[in-house]
Amino acid sequence: MRQLKILFMGDGSNLHNCLAATLKNMGHSVTVVSNGSRWMNTKRDINLSRGQGKKGAVKYIFDIIKTLPKLRGYDIVHLSSIAFLDLRREKIRYVFDYLKRNNKYIFLSALDGDYNYVQMCREGKVLRYSEFLVGDKPSPFILSPEADIWGQHNWDMPVMKWYCDYITSRLDGVVACLYEYYKAFEGYVPPGKLAYGGIPIETQSIEPHIIDKTPEKVKFFLGRQRNRMTLKGTDLMLDALRRTCDRYPGLCEMQVVENRPYSEYIELLSSAHVNLDQLYSYTPATNALLGMVRGVVAVSGAEPEYYDFIGEHDCQPIINVSPLVEGDIDNKLAWIVEHRDLLPALSRQSREFVIKHNDNRLVARRHLDFWQKIMAASPR
């Protein structure tokens, strides 16, 4: 395949930066434009971070205008979400139109919520639970002040549906990083324009910390994001973890970190035995996978639908927790403490799983194969 000139607009949990570094190593020319995923401060080639207040907003718009001439002439443009800039949707549309006019192909990384995803979750037909609906009942997130802070209800507004339709109808393709996002776009975008990429994890240079023997004390780790605890179910997981540590004094300990820079967070995570991640996910996301590649066992989402989706029926090391089952988190954490002799095997399988399904080179190849298929079908 010929060398491509690729532009990643925006980032989320280091996904685009990881992909960019991998594609550069494969001989492609890649530029990342992002805000560094805010407090994570991930690497980027061009920084577009919005400051506070009116002065910050004015400077941000000026920075975007100044950057626009650098965003021309790419073979591939990949957006991190349909809201890939920290602007109102109607303003982002003008930047999208500019990118569409001045580049060959434009794709979307489905790694964030949008109108389609929110509607799928609220209908409750595809997923048995989500951060919006648990069974047939509203989730704790929807009933909390967090829902207003994060503006999730705004996706119900007609202008949001219009904006989502506007962007999606003009894309050349969508690459989903999670099973849930794939299902949200399935049937919404034309056949052949949707692919599963997965979350890339840079496996080859990461030193594993495999659990080599039964630990006398289980080290639990929980990383939380301020103002997103109810959205991710971290509040319920933290409560269950506290109860577990009280129930088994001397057999477990917990470390809770909040809003740490990416590099510092990874170092802290690596010292744990077990990492508690998201409650409402069907799929292990970045936080879980980053721990697993190091040998840290994940307590997260890993539903049968996900394993079937990726065709994995043998290596299933993720300890799945379900919000549909009362007391499930407590029971699973208690099981870990009481069966900590199984942690070494789960630790090895966790790394094997990530190498098999989420190695950055594998995920990059999925993207390249999809781009090549679209370009061959519609040469420009």
| Beta strand ranges found along the chain (DSSP E) | 5-9, 29-34, 46-47, 76-79, 105-110, 133-134, 137-138, 173-176, 194-196, 218-224, 252-258, 274-276, 297-300, 319-320
β-bridge pairing 218-224 and 252-258: parallel
Output the pLDDT for position 266.
Answer: 81
Dihedral over Cα of 188, 192, 196, 200: its sign: negative
CATH class of 5-200+359-377: alpha beta
Give buried/exposed letters for 154-187 (b at 16+ CB in 10 A, else e).
ebeeeebeebbeebbeebbbbbbbbbbbbbbbee
Q: Do domains 5-200+359-377 and 218-357 have the same CATH topology?
A: yes
- Name the pTM for this structure: 0.93
Domain boundaries defined on the chain:
5-200+359-377, 218-357
> pLDDT of the chain along its 380 residues, tens only?
689 999 999 998 889 999 999 999 999 999 999 887 766 677 899 999 888 888 889 999 999 999 999 999 999 999 999 989 988 888 899 999 999 999 999 999 998 888 889 889 989 999 999 999 999 999 998 888 877 666 555 666 778 889 999 999 999 999 999 999 999 999 899 989 999 999 999 999 888 999 999 999 999 999 887 777 888 899 999 999 999 999 999 999 999 988 777 778 888 888 999 999 999 999 999 999 999 999 999 999 999 999 999 999 999 999 999 999 999 999 999 999 999 999 999 999 999 999 999 999 999 999 999 999 999 999 98
pLDDT value of residue 142: 86
Q: How many other CB atoms sit within 10 Å of the CB of residue 226?
A: 8
Please name the fold of domain 218-357: Rossmann fold (3.40.50)
Q: State residue 153's pLDDT score.
A: 54
Contact between residue 208 and residue 294 where contact means Cβ atoms under 8 Å apart: yes
